[in-house]
Structure 1
């Protein structure tokens, strides 16, 4: 029997025909329609833009025979999460002029704008360009925003790691000038110099997205094992400074496809500082060639590793490099995640303060005026900002004399001090979900506060209110808030129910396991209550909830 050749997906066909991500985007940008058609929605993602609609009014408009309320999400690339005061002020201004008045921080240290209409996309791109920022590469089948621990960027840290991160961001950005032509300049070049796209991208780019994160050697706020490629800094006894490379992580799943699953990365080897870009290019190039282009649900690098095995993939990388990687350094023993909140001093006498941002949404509302406070600080002081993988923000470079001024501005804006936050509230994460995300099955960000209250009340009733628990929530199994490595992961299952996972580790090196399926929103904490009872009575001294839940479930 002759084996049938599997057909590549329509997205692959669209990428190949797009003239390096141009397609008909510019022509559609100029027409009166509030949306883009056909393949253009896929190409938009490479430019950091997702086509969406307001799902709160979708049914009402549909029943009335009206056009959907078409809106767009734009994701701004922020390598390492670093922003100047000038850039922050530009981002703040844009949230009013072309978005919904809020700034959304992501778990990958990027900025998202929601509620932009089609006619505002070019204006936003131009405002970003004026402060040397872009959304290009924020989404799409390319190497995404490079994530790194904020503690690697403090004055005491070795600057070479920041240099490496910036070099990676520059090296793996697509070379096509399509974004400039379509969104910034606003016209297709009549004649343009042919710029060859990177060989590891080609004319169809990657099978799916590719995520890179650089961890601190002593804490794992970036969830380095959940990445396509994770990097842990260290000093090799014979090769000097470099990184342990971890490959093949990824947390997204799909309920309709049983062959999809969450997976933690595996150790590939040690890479000296001078070889970092070369080895990443080999990994990306191998993924370009080996990734599944016939099934986007199973196209991530993690499935290449799962199917072929680590040793086969390592041999593939060695063949492409022409040499073998050194054995990796031992993984860190103390690798608990840090939330980076509160005031911390630097050796040079300056200070930084980590500010909690509930669900990553910076706004002014009846509870606090966080957006106004950050704006006033950026206007008054030449500080730096760092976005964290916990959806929070750090204000850095505050002098000792300026600290009272910053403190007062934050207090006046009713911004909560780190010490006043609840044991779950302090680190809880959520994806945006409804009403904007087209993948969401149910609520996440909008109900996170009530879910945190549920669980903190359950802990308090058992005298456990001072015990920290990492809770993460998503409206679907794609896993944007990384619930698969949380101590408690809450994942949208249907319009009105969630699956509960427990047992992830604080080090991010163990997946949570399914605890209970299809639980209603109001019953989430009650479902986990028996496990809290067991933790209270049978848990060891200082045993983390995730460790206890894992031990309990393995009995």
Structure 2
């Protein structure tokens, strides 16, 4: 990344370390993320790593976790927790080749509990990887040109992009830029190769991290590319969002949106979700320098003392949007152009078969909560492996945890269809309600250390009960977005769903209503810290009212506001009011 965008407070550490938060001190003293990770991995006495190394390993896409289903029992037996690691891939735009899929399948079966997880940011997660298998997994990924760099940590997370580059020339153009953005913004430290591939440390002529410096970003920084009229990536939830502007199917440039972020803490009213603000327009050839300018503002002015207030959204609200925009323009050396008109109409996935501009076929499968696993009635892992063995196109992961088998020649479609039928995958969406097909859940229990309630394991059962309500009111086929997380951090983007649920305690959730169907509006809390009976009662009342009194074409989220169930949230700062 360019180092022109100075000043950079993170390089010279003009703020004394004792005035920075402990995570900033850890990064500054880590020798560019090396820490003592090598020593922690070599320690055979424990399945864990040192706490400081666990934080640094996030920059390499790795989270240390333990199985919370057995935590209490192991404590009673005076055993350490059942530690393992989650490995998250860097996969810009969610694009995966068949050979890469086959390697991931192999690694999942051997080292990750025979399951793959498709995430809400278009990538894969491997769960339950033991510490002593980590290098094997990382080197296996390298064999097929994959890595886990910057998939977590205080850096630029995986870059999202509107799905299926082969659907049109425009999608392909935007995907190529998204991939460039990912390669441009990823951290440059040699620690990754040294720790995971056994490479020797190389001397560098200049700073090892010419853009990030010793303390990297104040917090995670998310980038995404949307192509109207689909807002499938939820562009307003990104720290930096690019909205494609095209003319005659050819990309002209992007509207720039800044300051999105959905994490919050229930007991900290100074934290809140925020939707990104559109600040102007750039031509396509100005993309990378704009990324540098925007990121450097957050790098230099983001809060490095209070991590709960360190995301870009708070920097913008504290400094003011006009001030931040002016600072970005100063670093660019020019003013942004006026934002161009655009329209979003949805943020879901068109399931089933579609045909691209070039006549090639694409099949989008509904993967409930992104979990790819074999079950007796639906051996999904086996089926997708069989398809990868014969498919000569690509796989595409969507931001809604669906999977596209992409770029299929017309002559090859019958063979793919037969494999789908043989493994029970040809009816991935058939018979499922519009609500279920527009649902998402985070992993939550038992592996996520932040989860306070179930999510992935619970939402399907809850939806079955809600579907009874939908049937009673004639709403089964209506698309309504519902998203659930096991804590308030918002990984499944619950605060922009028409129905959102965030965990508070085992079996207890906050219920939110009123989000925008295509991700353009935050929702609002309707019930706090309630269990399933209260949730079902509330949904029966509100959905029934919606079925009776909605206007033609009115979405449920819009109705919830019009009918007075919740107030419209105009800005994130007022979310908790």
Name the TM-score, length of structure 2 as normaliser.
0.92
Query: For residue 383 of structure 2, what is the aligned residue in structure 1?
Result: 373
List aligned pairs for 1:147-226, cutoff 5 A: 147-157=160-170, 159-185=172-198, 189=201, 192-194=203-205, 196-226=207-237
2 CA distance for matches of 1:500 and 1:534?
17
Please tell me whether residue 30 in structure 1 is matched to residue 49 in structure 2: no
Q: Which moved more, 1:24-33 or 1:204-213?
A: 24-33
Query: For residue 71 of structure 1, what is the aligned residue in structure 2?
Result: 84
CA drift of 1:457 comes to: 1.0
Query: For residue 29 of structure 2, what is the aligned residue in structure 1?
Result: 17
Change (3 A) 1:60 1:195: farther
Change (3 A) 1:200 1:268: farther
Equivalent residue for 1:513, pick from 519, 524, 528: 524
Moved over 6 A (4+): none
Name the TM-score, length of structure 1 as normaliser.
0.95
Change (3 A) 1:231 1:59: same
CA contact (8 A) 2:164 2:404 kept: no
2 CA distance for matches of 1:127 and 1:538?
56
Equivalent position SS for 2:337: coil
CA contact (8 A) 1:128 1:134 kept: yes
Please tell me whether residue 279 in structure 1 is matched to residue 308 in structure 2: no
Equivalent position SS for 1:444: coil
CA contact (8 A) 2:231 2:344 kept: no
CA contact (8 A) 2:241 2:257 kept: yes
Deviations 1:159-208 (A, max 9, x none): 332221111011101111111110122x653x534563444311100000
Equivalent residue for 1:393, pick from 403, 420, 432: 403
Change (3 A) 1:476 1:461: same
CA drift of 1:319 comes to: 1.6
Q: Which moved more, 1:192-201 or 1:252-261?
A: 192-201
Please tell me whether residue 99 in structure 1 is matched to residue 109 in structure 2: no
CA drift of 1:480 comes to: 0.3
CA contact (8 A) 1:235 1:242 kept: yes
Q: Which moved more, 1:303-312 or 1:193-202?
A: 193-202
Please tell me whether residue 269 in structure 1 is matched to residue 285 in structure 2: no
Deviations 1:22-65 (A, max 9, x none): 11101211121211113111101001000111000001111221
Please tell me whether residue 323 in structure 1 is matched to residue 334 in structure 2: yes
CA contact (8 A) 1:73 1:113 kept: yes
2 CA distance for matches of 1:15 and 1:109?
27
Deviations 1:120-143 (A, max 9, x none): 110000000000000111101111
Query: For residue 70 of structure 2, what is the aligned residue in structure 1?
Result: 57
2 CA distance for matches of 1:317 and 1:510?
25
CA contact (8 A) 2:62 2:85 kept: yes
CA drift of 1:403 comes to: 1.4
CA contact (8 A) 2:442 2:484 kept: yes
Change (3 A) 1:350 1:9: same
1 CA distance for matches of 2:252 and 2:207?
33
Kindly tell me the number of residue pairs found equivalent between the two proteins. 548
Query: For residue 411 of structure 1, what is the aligned residue in structure 2?
Result: 421
Query: For residue 82 of structure 1, what is the aligned residue in structure 2?
Result: 95
CA drift of 1:402 comes to: 1.8
2 CA distance for matches of 1:483 and 1:441?
15
Change (3 A) 1:194 1:45: farther
Equivalent position SS for 1:316: helix
Equivalent residue for 1:125, pick from 138, 141, 148: 138
Equivalent residue for 1:430, pick from 430, 441, 456: 441
Q: Which moved more, 1:23-32 or 1:243-252?
A: 23-32
Query: For residue 150 of structure 2, what is the aligned residue in structure 1?
Result: 137
Query: For residue 39 of structure 1, what is the aligned residue in structure 2?
Result: 52
Q: Which runs of 5+ in 1 are unaligned?
A: none
CA drift of 1:293 comes to: 0.7
Q: Which runs of 5+ in 2 are unaligned?
A: 1-15, 568-577
Please tell me whether residue 486 in structure 1 is matched to residue 509 in structure 2: no
CA contact (8 A) 1:236 1:329 kept: no
Equivalent position SS for 2:289: helix
CA contact (8 A) 2:514 2:558 kept: yes
CA contact (8 A) 2:163 2:171 kept: no
Change (3 A) 1:551 1:198: farther
Equivalent position SS for 1:491: strand
CA contact (8 A) 1:240 1:272 kept: no
2 CA distance for matches of 1:363 and 1:96?
10
Query: For residue 412 of structure 2, what is the aligned residue in structure 1?
Result: 402
2 CA distance for matches of 1:271 and 1:479?
30
2 CA distance for matches of 1:256 and 1:406?
50
Q: Which moved more, 1:208-217 or 1:463-472?
A: 463-472
2 CA distance for matches of 1:405 and 1:150?
24
Equivalent residue for 2:355, pick from 327, 337, 345: 345
CA contact (8 A) 1:200 1:288 kept: no
Equivalent position SS for 1:150: coil
Equivalent residue for 1:532, pick from 530, 537, 543: 543
2 CA distance for matches of 1:380 and 1:537?
50
CA drift of 1:542 comes to: 2.4
Aligned-pair Cα RMSD in Å: 1.9
2 CA distance for matches of 1:157 and 1:319?
30
Change (3 A) 1:421 1:31: same
1 CA distance for matches of 2:21 and 2:166?
41
Deviations 1:491-534 (A, max 9, x none): 10122200100111112010011111111135422222111121
Query: For residue 460 of structure 1, what is the aligned residue in structure 2?
Result: 471
2 CA distance for matches of 1:240 and 1:409?
37
Q: Which moved more, 1:196-205 or 1:44-53?
A: 196-205
2 CA distance for matches of 1:129 and 1:151?
24
